[in-house]
Structure 1
């Protein structure tokens, strides 16, 4: 399955150090070689970079290792395809959609077997992954709750919890979701996270 990397920061920060090690796992130190993507939020919009090449050899990933894009919320993904054609740009995460006048980013790790959610038509997948279908279903559900005005963070969280239970019946549903204000992370297997506070101590890539 795929691997996820997210960052939520009080102050805008760049992710180059962590991205260097993460990108290497996309075909060099690990076997997640079916595509790469990363999104950096700047207020309500995001800069999104995706590449169907392995992250370890992607010119896009290499450029980003030297480009200090500072952001408070970042979502990144390296892909090991389980559903959807491998090494296809439209199947690379993160996926993005607009809701309530903001970009939303979603990246998924897992495999949802026979997952075919119903859709009212506002959000349709471009690619052929179960991941993008789940993202469209989530956006649809939030839009149905409040078509025009943003929901409170509590209502968004309750909606995510409800959908998590229903979606996880089909398989592993680990994901990162952000709208540039918050970063939501769910893990039904193992979740690793790091909290750092200034002044930072030295760290080494392993």
Structure 2
């Protein structure tokens, strides 16, 4: 199984602290050593980094930990391969274009015998069940809406589509179009919001403590979504099984 990390922020924010701890789970403090990736939205643009090496050992991951790219929506993934070989095309996150926007998706879980019918516009490049599920979600969302829908409309559509994939197995995922971040939990996912008054936090997987009050302004806010809590001194909330949450401007809607 894999692990997920997502940030949805009110203002452009770097993920250096969270990503540093998260990378250790890619082969150092945990066994998710079969590739990794991270995507940063920048306006309508997207920076995507993927690697088939372990995140704990990757020179590219080391570079990103010391080069703080700022974004309002970030999705990262460390992989433990179960379906699909260890190679670059099977590294998450995956990206597609829909309605003139980049979409980014990362998945944790196994979907057994999952072979959905896919049209020409959305086809997987690699061999993972995860990319197949992403392509199907994109295909069905495109069929459901003739033009760019609102976040609320997309959330309703996803609530209808997710059970059709979920019945094939474990379907924890993060999805973003740069405007919002959707997080679905079928087995394990946690979240918190960092906002004023900011406090300090200490990573579980790395010897690093940060005082966020020294780094943030009162208007800053960041929602952090992760498979297993990253810090030992913050209050994380567990998702309920089969819960879908959408985050906008660093806070959950509804």
Q: When the two structures are superposed, what TM-score results if normalisation uses the length of structure 1?
A: 0.97
Counterparts of 1:145 and 1:44 in 2: how far apart (Å)?
Answer: 23
Counterparts of 2:41 and 2:140 in 1: how far apart (Å)?
Answer: 23
Structure 2: where are the runs of 5+ without partners?
205-254
Counterparts of 1:159 and 1:170 in 2: how far apart (Å)?
Answer: 19
Please report how far the alpha carbon of residue 5 of structure 1 lies from its aligned counterpart in structure 2 after TM superposition: 0.2
Q: Is the 2:144–2:157 contact (alpha carbons within 8 Å) kept by the matching residues of 1?
A: no
Please report how far the alpha carbon of residue 119 of structure 1 lies from its aligned counterpart in structure 2 after TM superposition: 1.2
- 4+ residue segments displaced more than 2 Å: none
Please report how far the alpha carbon of residue 205 of structure 1 lies from its aligned counterpart in structure 2 after TM superposition: 1.2
The corresponding residue for 1:47 is 47
The corresponding residue for 1:205 is 203
Counterparts of 2:9 and 2:152 in 1: how far apart (Å)?
Answer: 20
Counterparts of 1:92 and 1:25 in 2: how far apart (Å)?
Answer: 15
Selected match of 1:161 from 159, 162, 174: 159
The corresponding residue for 2:183 is 185
Residue pairs, 1:90-101, within 5 angstroms: 90-101=89-100
TM-superposition CA deviations, 1:93-120 (whole Å, max 9, x none): 0000001111000000000000001112
TM-superposition CA deviations, 1:26-84 (whole Å, max 9, x none): 00000000000000001122100000000000111100001110000000000001100
- Pairwise CA RMSD: 0.9
Q: Give the aligned length.
A: 204
Residue pairs, 1:1-206, within 5 angstroms: 1-86=1-86, 88-147=87-146, 149-206=147-204
Richer in strand (by share): 2
The corresponding residue for 2:244 is none
SS in 1 for 2:122: coil
